[in-house]
């Protein structure tokens, strides 16, 4: 027995999302995931089931994981990523985006932030590490890292944010395979802090900027990095601290009230550092035309 026409398309989609299985040729039946959604036993079952179905879908899950914890960029940046990173032809962009956003809205995996749509990161516990390991393994195949390659971290020194260097930024960058460096208090005692910061930024393969608090030293260092056309991973705990003229670049947002925020931020920084090396255009402030 074969399936044809629109029904075949709907059937294929249901199987792709994990709602139906084919136990035998010519037959289909509901999976446990579908039963969880249709006949929930607990208040969270239906939503959990829909979210799992979205994460089962090829391409949709990949794009979701790529942007989790970030705002979806404006065009043409989003379209460029769909084509360059995920192989989705330009003529299929409108169709994919319609399905993508409808799926994420149904699963409550996207939220409005002003004029932007932010992808919600619902990973937790062991799931954070599992997703990160798979993503890093894929990214590592497409980038070249040599011994001694450094990632320069631009961030305030004062606590609480300054304390994140040892607990979050250093392990995240080490996870990506690079050597983390940061201007420390000793550099300020030399009297040549600007020279050393310039040297550190210039020699770094990629940089990370913690924008929370709008620290003037961080903004100064970020300006130097952008002047050098260096790829920079931007991080902030809130959107108001991100300068308007860099909001089109990828920004990782974190929420310290999320019990898994540290694990999630380590994972995202590690992924975005490698992603910035794989696709520097996503993390470099473009020069004005004619410059």
Q: pLDDT per residue over 72-81, tens digit each? A: 998 888 999 9
Q: Residue 108 above 80 pLDDT?
A: yes
Q: Residue 288 above 70 pLDDT?
A: no
> Distance between CA 149 and CA 3 in Å, rounded?
54
Q: Mean pLDDT check: name the lowest of 49-53, 92-96, 116-120, 151-155.
A: 49-53
Q: Residue 190 above 60 pLDDT?
A: no
Tens digits of residue pLDDT in 131-183: 777 778 887 888 888 888 999 999 999 999 999 999 999 999 999 999 999 87
pLDDT given for residue 191 in this prediction: 55
Query: Looking at the domain 144-282, which fold is it?
Result: Rossmann fold (3.40.50)
More confident residue, 44 or 32: 44
pLDDT given for residue 196 in this prediction: 79
Q: Residue 118 above 80 pLDDT?
A: yes
**Can you name the residues that pair with 29 across neighbouring β-strands?**
21
To the question of pTM greater than 0.95 for the whole model, the response is no
pLDDT band at 127 (very low <50, low <70, confident <90, very high): low
Tens digits of residue pLDDT in 225-249: 999 999 999 999 999 999 988 877 8
CB atoms within 10 A of CB 38: 12
Q: What is the largest CA-CA distance in the chain?
A: 80
Q: Residue 5 above 60 pLDDT?
A: no
Tens digits of residue pLDDT in 243-286: 988 877 889 999 999 999 999 999 999 999 999 998 877 788 76
> Distance between CA 80 and CA 233 in Å, rounded?
18
CB atoms within 10 A of CB 211: 26
Tens digits of residue pLDDT in 6-18: 333 344 555 456 7
pLDDT given for residue 115 in this prediction: 83
Q: Residue 291 above 50 pLDDT?
A: no
pLDDT given for residue 52 in this prediction: 87
pLDDT given for residue 286 in this prediction: 66
Where along the chain do its domains lie? 5-119, 144-282
pLDDT given for residue 163 in this prediction: 94
Answer yes or no: are the C-beta atoms of 244 and 116 closer than 8 Å.
no
Q: For the chain, what is the mean pLDDT? A: 84
Answer yes or no: are the C-beta atoms of 201 and 207 closer than 8 Å.
yes
If you average pLDDT over residues 186-199, what whole number do you get? 67
Radius of gyration of the chain (CA): 21
Closest CA to 173 of 141, 217, 204, 131: 204
CB-based burial of residue 262 (10 Å sphere; 0-12 exposed, 13-18 middle, 19+ buried)?
middle
pLDDT given for residue 13 in this prediction: 54
């Amino acid at each position: 027995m074969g399936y044809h026409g629109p029904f075949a398309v709907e059937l294929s989609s249901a199987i792709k999302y994990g709602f139906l299985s084919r136990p035998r040729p010519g037959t289909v039946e509901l999976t446990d995931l579908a039963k969880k959604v249709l006949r929930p036993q607990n208040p969270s079952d239906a939503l959990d089931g829909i979210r799992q179905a979205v994460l089962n879908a090829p391409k949709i899950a990949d794009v979701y994981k790529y942007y989790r914890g970030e705002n979806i960029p404006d065009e043409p940046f989003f379209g460029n990523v769909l084509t360059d990173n995920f192989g989705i032809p330009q003529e299929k962009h409108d169709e994919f985006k319609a399905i993508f956003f409808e799926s994420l809205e149904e699963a409550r995996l996207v939220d409005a932030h002003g004029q932007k749509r932010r992808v919600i990161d619902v990973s937790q516990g062991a799931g954070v590490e599992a997703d990160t390991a798979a993503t890093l393994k894929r990214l590592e195949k497409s980038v070249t890292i040599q011994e001694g390659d450094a990632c320069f971290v631009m961030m305030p020194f004062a606590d609480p944010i300054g304390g994140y260097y040892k607990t979050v930024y250093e392990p995240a960058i080490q996870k990506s395979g690079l050597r983390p460096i940061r201007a420390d208090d000793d550099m300020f005692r030399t009297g040549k802090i600007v020279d050393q910061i310039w040297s550190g930024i210039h020699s770094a393969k990629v940089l990370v900027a913690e924008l929370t608090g709008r620290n003037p030293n961080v903004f100064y260092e970020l300006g130097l990095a952008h002047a050098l056309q260096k790829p920079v991973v931007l991080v902030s705990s809130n959107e108001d601290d991100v300068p308007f003229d860099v909001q089109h670049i990828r920004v990782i947002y974190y929420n310290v009230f999320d019990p898994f925020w540290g694990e999630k931020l380590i994972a995202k920084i590690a992924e975005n550092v490698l992603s910035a090396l794989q696709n520097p255009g996503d993390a470099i402030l473009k020069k004005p035309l004619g410059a």
